[in-house]
Structure 1
Amino acid sequence: MGRTENPVDHSVPSRGELADFLRAERRASGLTYDHLAERTGVSAATLKRAASGRVVPAEHTVVSFLSACASGPAKITLALSMRQRARRDERGGGARVNPLLIFAPYELAVGLVALHKNAGSPSYREMTRRAGGSHLLPLSSISRILNRRTLPVSQQQMAAFIEGCGVRAGTKAHDEWLAAWSRSREIKELRTGDNYVETIEHMMLNMAQEHSSRQGAIRRRLRQVAKSIDSGLVLAAVQAAAPHLIL
């Protein structure tokens, strides 16, 4: 008869919830941790720690654990979502960010940092793996983006970055983030003058028509952007506070 497990640590509730889920799946499978270790190639100690609630296990560990329990794709997807939430909560939570309200480059820079944090702060190597390889998302580029020293240099790199943060291609959220990147490029190229007013008005009309439920917020945000570009007050203030950051 195996030793009784210590109680799950619920000091971080979402982390404890994931541990409870893993333990329930192991019990349902009828396997011991030693049996799981044999099937996964992951040590029994690591598997026990994953189901302790004291740490957020690595994504690979969660997938291996549940695959060995024959839990099925739906439960593995659920567990990975729980892991993402636990990792985010463990690190102090994240700010809500709506890509529909991102226009200026500095807003995109802040938004991408928040997106990464809300995704549970995946490691650079994990992001590269999710994105499809370092040729699409180099580790050095991730570092510079997250330190707000650059923005994705192309739409392809933008797609790779958000996919590295768990935003799946073909989803509404994926399209909204790519649109935010495109808008930030347009705003960056604007200068005071006749063309800038026309571009802002055109952007306002298109956005309001595409997202009718958010017309008010989008219109207010675009007016703020137009005003900041015209006066230069917002950009100047940010640049004075942190000249190395993306503006």
Structure 2
Amino acid sequence: MGRPEKPVDRTVPARAELADFLRRRKSTADLTHEQIAGLTKGTPSKATLCRATSGATVPLWDTVETIVKVTITKEEEFTGSIEVTVARALELWICARRATRAPYYIHKAPDPNLIWSLADFSRALRAQHVWAGYPTPGEMERLAGPGELPSSTTRRVISGSTLPVDPQQTLAFLKACYVVTASEHEPWLAAALRAFQNSPSHAKDTKTWAKAHDKLRTHAGQEATSPPLLASLSEPPPQTARLDAVWECHSCQADVETGTAGLDGYRPTQGGLCRDCELGRRLARLCGRTPFGHGHDMSGYAEPAQTGSISL
């Protein structure tokens, strides 16, 4: 029998919450750090795993993801819900990074609907970067994809000395800050268009932004009208939802309320996914893979099975 673990360092509550989550996973699977290291062939090492669950530091995402997947439960394996758990781990990890790395505090994700000027747009992008856990320019370049977001440009955007050069680079920046769906992108491009139109020196050069926004608005509309999992072929009668409505998530059957807010300020609309399932869907899209590994996304549409992971 090994030595008992030291108590979790609770100096930073968000960091301690992540450590508690990882320890519960390890305890449920009845595995020690040494056993987990053995299952992963020493990557990460036992020492790295001990630090990850200590609460004294924020581990790399690869370490967190490895612990979650090695400690998969039979229920998660049977239902294919491991990606929802990975999404929850990602949320806790980002919160811990935000609490320890961000140069200043923000209490919620920025609202692009409040953007009116180019200065507002710049501040909102920087606030979203902080809300996403203050990823480094190199991390953001890898998340956005090859050639989409040079790290040198990201540094200037984060410092407030420049703005993304075009809509494509704006969307790449947002994607690297975990804003990944068309319905989330649409208000940001609408805000960018509004800001450029209100700038006398840029008002004549908004055609590209307007065209990109129109195209994205169409995609966002298609997302909004996507039928839920196992939806009936017949259209249900229209209903007016109350602001305090509660419904069942069509993925995990958990109760969902309109007032719940997720990592990126996600607030579910009537009949939408719960916070954890929505985050799982975003993570899967960001990774380029299907959420449950059964060839379907959470909206019920078939997608080709792919593999991949976030390298942060």
Local SS of the residue matching 2:66: helix
Q: Does 1:53 align with 2:65?
A: no
Distance change (3 Å), C-alpha of 1:184 and 1:39: farther
Aligned match of 1:239: none
Report the Cα distance in structure 1 between the residues aligned to 2:63 and 2:202, rounded to whole angstroms.
51
Report the Cα distance in structure 2 between the residues aligned to 1:79 and 1:143, rounded to whole angstroms.
27
Report the Cα distance in structure 1 between the residues aligned to 2:92 and 2:105, rounded to whole angstroms.
14
How many Å apart are 1:156 and its aligned residue? 0.6
**Match for residue 185 of structure 1 among 190, 196, 200:** 196
| Matching residue's letter, 1:101 | L
Report the Cα distance in structure 1 between the residues aligned to 2:202 and 2:89, rounded to whole angstroms.
48
CA contact (8 A) 2:196 2:202 kept: no
Local SS of the residue matching 1:188: coil
Aligned match of 1:9: 9
| Matching residue's letter, 2:70 | A
Q: Say what the alpha-carbon RMSD is for the aligned residues.
A: 2.0
Q: Does 1:74 align with 2:87?
A: no
How many Å apart are 1:73 and its aligned residue? 1.1
**Match for residue 113 of structure 1 among 114, 126, 133:** 126
- Which string of whole-angstrom CA distances, capped at 9 and with x for unpartnered residues, describes residues 121-164 of structure 1? 0122221222122x001000100101111101111100000110
Gaps of 5+ in 1: 193-247
Aligned match of 2:153: 141
| Matching residue's letter, 1:81 | E
| Matching residue's letter, 1:43 | S
State the aligned residue count: 191
Q: What does 1:83-162 correspond to in 2, within 5 Å?
A: 83-90=93-100, 91=102, 92-94=104-106, 96=108, 97-133=110-146, 135-162=147-174
| Matching residue's letter, 2:18 | L
Report the Cα distance in structure 1 between the residues aligned to 2:136 and 2:35, rounded to whole angstroms.
29
Distance change (3 Å), C-alpha of 1:144 and 1:80: same
Report the Cα distance in structure 2 between the residues aligned to 1:191 and 1:55, rounded to whole angstroms.
45
How many Å apart are 1:191 and its aligned residue? 8.6
Local SS of the residue matching 2:199: helix
Query: How does the TM-score come out when normalised to structure 2?
Result: 0.58
Bigger radius of gyration, 1 or 2? 1
Identical aligned residues as a percent: 38
Gaps of 5+ in 2: 74-81, 204-312
How many Å apart are 1:173 and its aligned residue? 2.6
Local SS of the residue matching 2:181: coil
How many Å apart are 1:37 and its aligned residue? 1.8
| Matching residue's letter, 2:64 | V
Distance change (3 Å), C-alpha of 1:39 and 1:178: farther
Query: How does the TM-score come out when normalised to structure 1?
Result: 0.72
Report the Cα distance in structure 1 between the residues aligned to 2:72 and 2:193, rounded to whole angstroms.
43
How many Å apart are 1:39 and its aligned residue? 3.1
Report the Cα distance in structure 1 between the residues aligned to 2:29 and 2:149, rounded to whole angstroms.
38
How many Å apart are 1:174 and its aligned residue? 2.2
- Which string of whole-angstrom CA distances, capped at 9 and with x for unpartnered residues, describes residues 185-238 of structure 1? 22224699xxxxxxxxxxxxxxxxxxxxxxxxxxxxxxxxxxxxxxxxxxxxxx
| Matching residue's letter, 2:117 | A
Report the Cα distance in structure 2 between the residues aligned to 1:52 and 1:117, rounded to whole angstroms.
24
| Matching residue's letter, 1:184 | A
Mean Cα displacement is larger for which, 158-167 or 61-70? 61-70
Report the Cα distance in structure 2 between the residues aligned to 1:154 and 1:39, rounded to whole angstroms.
46
How many Å apart are 1:76 and its aligned residue? 1.0
CA contact (8 A) 2:9 2:55 kept: yes
- Which string of whole-angstrom CA distances, capped at 9 and with x for unpartnered residues, describes residues 70-90 of structure 1? 262111100110111122122
- Which string of whole-angstrom CA distances, capped at 9 and with x for unpartnered residues, describes residues 14-35 of structure 1? 1111100000001111222122
Distance change (3 Å), C-alpha of 1:4 and 1:137: same
Report the Cα distance in structure 1 between the residues aligned to 2:186 and 2:161, rounded to whole angstroms.
24
How many Å apart are 1:169 and its aligned residue? 2.4
- Which string of whole-angstrom CA distances, capped at 9 and with x for unpartnered residues, describes residues 88-108 of structure 1? 122453254211010211111
